[in-house]
């Protein structure tokens, strides 16, 4: 049974309306949907739903693309492309639980710790992609880049504005903590950023150094302790113990002395005396 065919004049008006409403995808599929309607394959409401769904899909794709560019995530990586079989120390279900993004709403900090090449940045970016898809604002940068931008802003007298900018994102991802030493004094700039986001915005941090080494990383044990005091209050710590992904195809060519050792488990530094205990300790995810 054939459906009711819209009159040519009506169809022309619909086209003009779609152009006026800036709905290019709906305009593109309009003739196809009308043919389905004429053949009785779909009803009127289903036709309207099909047009709106096509347009929404296009707009959502554009939103995600723009948000990923704003997030500076670089090469997009996903959890589906992560090889969990190569890192048996990781609990896949725990990572997938993080992908539900409850930690973003709770303004928590996720620490991804492990030797170089074990997938920390991949997981951080993949969680960032999930956050973008869910409608959260995300910003990604290495620690070196963030500290450099803060130092430049301080010299230019715009440090407060730069910190405010880095606090806008619902999720801030700080990559490669410990790969490059921080110039003494600049660690305090990072502390100011962390303090501004404390209990106001979620973070993901990746590091190849244990917490006990952060005094060396930031060139100041006092600053490192103050950082960890905030970064470990509402936190999830994921330790990755395994070999690097990168040289696995040529593992026979890599000397034993250069292969990644298992991640060392280091104790958290003591909290400052005189400070009242926090309501909720860091949740350690045992790998």
Q: What is the pLDDT of residues 82-137, one digit of tens each?
A: 988 888 889 999 999 999 999 999 999 999 999 998 999 999 999 999 999 999 99
pLDDT of residue 277: 42
Residue 139 has pLDDT above 80, yes or no: yes
Q: How far apart are CA 87 and CA 6, in angstroms?
A: 59
Homologous superfamily, domain 72-285: P-loop containing nucleotide triphosphate hydrolases (3.40.50.300)
* Angle, helix 44-71 to helix 24-38, in steps of 10 degrees: 150
| Mean pLDDT for the stretch of residues 3-21 | 85
pLDDT of residue 287: 38
Tokens of 147: 């500290």
pLDDT digits (tens, 9 = 90+) for 26-70: 999 999 999 999 999 999 999 999 999 999 999 988 888 888 888
Within 10 angstroms of residue 175's Cβ, the number of other Cβ atoms is 22
Domains of the chain, by residue range, sit at 8-69, 72-285
Please, which pLDDT band fits residue 246 given cuts at 50, 70 and 90? low
CA distance 111 to 206: 6
pLDDT digits (tens, 9 = 90+) for 190-232: 999 999 999 999 999 999 999 999 999 999 999 999 999 999 9
Q: How far is CA 25 from the centre of its chain?
A: 29
Q: How is residue 68 written in tokens?
A: 């990923």
What is the per-residue pLDDT for 85?
87
The secondary structure of the chain in percent helix, strand, coil, rounded to multiples of 5, reads 50, 10, 40
**pTM confidence score:** 0.74
pLDDT value at residue 117: 86
Per-residue pLDDT of 166-191, as tens digits, reads 999 999 999 999 998 898 789 999 99
What confidence score (pLDDT) does residue 4 get? 62
Does the pLDDT at position 268 exceed 50?
A: no
pLDDT of residue 282: 44
145, pLDDT greater than 80: yes
Burial of 91 (0-12, 13-18, 19+ CB in 10 A): middle
Cα separation of 91 and 95, whole Å? 7
Q: Among residues 134, 103, 94, 26, which one has the least CA distance to residue 239?
A: 94
* pLDDT score of 254 more than 90: no
Mean pLDDT across the stretch 156-170?
97
Q: What angle do CA 59, 64, 67 make, to 5 degrees?
A: 125
């Amino acid at each position: 049974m054939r459906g009711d065919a819209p009159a040519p004049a009506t169809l022309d008006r619909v086209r003009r309306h779609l152009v006026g409403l800036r709905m290019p995808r709906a305009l593109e599929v309009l003739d196809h949907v009308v043919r389905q309607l004429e053949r009785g394959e779909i009803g009127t409401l289903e036709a309207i739903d099909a047009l709106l769904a096509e347009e929404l899909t296009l707009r959502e794709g554009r939103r995600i693309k723009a948000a990923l560019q704003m997030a500076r995530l670089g090469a997009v990586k996903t959890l589906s492309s992560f090889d969990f079989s190569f890192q048996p120390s990781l609990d896949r279900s725990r990572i997938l639980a993080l992908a539900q993004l409850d930690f973003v709403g709770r303004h928590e900090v996720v620490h991804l710790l492990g030797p170089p090449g074990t997938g920390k940045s991949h997981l951080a970016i993949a969680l960032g992609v999930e956050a973008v898809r869910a409608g959260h604002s995300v910003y990604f940068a290495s620690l070196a880049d963030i500290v450099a931008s803060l130092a430049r802003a301080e010299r230019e007298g715009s440090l407060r504005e730069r910190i405010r900018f880095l606090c806008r994102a619902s999720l801030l991802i700080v990559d490669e903590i410990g790969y490059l030493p921080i110039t003494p004094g600049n660690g305090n700039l990072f502390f100011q950023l962390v303090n501004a986001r404390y209990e106001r915005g979620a973070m993901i941090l990746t590091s190849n150094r244990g917490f006990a080494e952060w005094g060396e990383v930031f060139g100041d044990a006092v600053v490192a302790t103050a950082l960890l005091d905030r970064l470990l209050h509402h936190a999830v710590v994921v330790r990755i113990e395994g070999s690097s992904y990168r040289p696995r195809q040529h593992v026979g060519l890599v000397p034993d002395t250069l292969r990644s050792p298992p991640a060392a488990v280091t104790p958290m530094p003591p909290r400052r005396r005189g400070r009242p205990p926090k309501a909720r300790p860091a949740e350690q995810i045992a790998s």
